[in-house]
Amino acid sequence: MADQEQTAVSPFDAIQHVKDDLGEYWSARELYKLLGYSRWEKFQKSITEAQEACTNSGQAVSDHFHLQVKMVGIGSGAKRKQEDYHLSRYACYLIVQNADPSKPVVALGQTYFAVQTRRQELADQLAALPEDQRRLLLRSEMAIFNQQLAETAKHAGVIKPDDFATFQDHGYMGLYGGLRENDIHERKDLTSESQKILDYMGSEELGANIFRATQTDAKLRREQVKGKEKANSTHFQVGREVRDTIKRLGGTMPEQLPTPEKSIQELQREDQRRLQQGPQLPLFSAENNSSEEE
């Protein structure tokens, strides 16, 4: 999107690095200066305490604190060894928790790394879920974000049901390369009007639509868009931006993603039956066990 549409970058984002073998990391040498420390030696106390906290949490220090030693010039051609650490997000979180709280930037860092670490935990938890559970979770979130988008679109001037249907179609057309909701419905081989396309999307497709909805909502609010034509154009633009992002990343276009065999409603009924049945005792027959898992 255009530069004026980008949100402000956190100073902690600005010093983030990425390596193919390490992923994202922060340099302790850069972090200590950003946090307002005048001397490396004082900052090392926070690193030591963070490493102890890492061990106490059951994590391996070597997974989060990567020691780096390089030679640096000190004048007249002389050099000396200088230590640094390549820190994971979790290591940074532990460091700022043990840093000097009287420094204003430390408080900012505590909030930043706490939020970012929690986001990563949630992303990891989501990735660990079976596909059906991811679908249920994301479909529930989609309902919430669609409701928020509808409220924002209403304030922009999208008021009548037919107007909102057109507004939604513009978002789909941007994301699905010109396809409207009815076109997507047909591509998924859905035969009844009661079958909603969102209920027949996998987690990847739902994720793309969540991004479309949340970013449209934010753009409508941020730019205080007024008028249904401008709202429609905004929704289409955001949908197309999401599609372009998927293309740049080498992903599969949403209309080409497979349609799950089971609807969200079927998955919900299966979950409800499992809850009503309660924990099951193990069965002796391997054949019976197999049929139960299916």
Mean pLDDT per block of 10 residues along the chain (294 residues) reads 45 86 87 92 93 93 93 79 92 91 86 78 76 91 94 96 96 98 97 95 94 93 94 96 92 96 93 72 40 33
Helix (H) or strand (E) holding 23: strand 23-27
Q: In terms of pTM, does the model score above 0.75?
A: no
Q: Are 171 and 236 in contact (CB under 8 A)?
A: yes
**Number of separate helices (H) and strands (E) present in the chain:** 13, 4
- What does residue 67 show for φ and ψ, rounded to 5 degrees? -65, 135
Q: In the prediction, which pLDDT does 183 show?
A: 97
Q: In the prediction, which pLDDT does 288 show?
A: 40
Secondary structure string (H, E, C) spanning 200-219: HCCHHHHHHHHHHHHHHHHH
Q: Are 142 and 213 in contact (CB under 8 A)?
A: yes
Q: In the prediction, which pLDDT does 78 show?
A: 81
Q: In the prediction, which pLDDT does 276 show?
A: 77
Name the amino acid, one letter, at 21. Answer: D
Q: How many angstroms separate the CA atoms of 82 and 49, rounded? A: 20
Q: Are 231 and 153 in contact (CB under 8 A)?
A: yes
Q: In the prediction, which pLDDT does 251 show?
A: 93
Token pair 């076109």: residue: 183
Q: In the prediction, which pLDDT does 69 show?
A: 92
Q: Are 217 and 152 in contact (CB under 8 A)?
A: yes
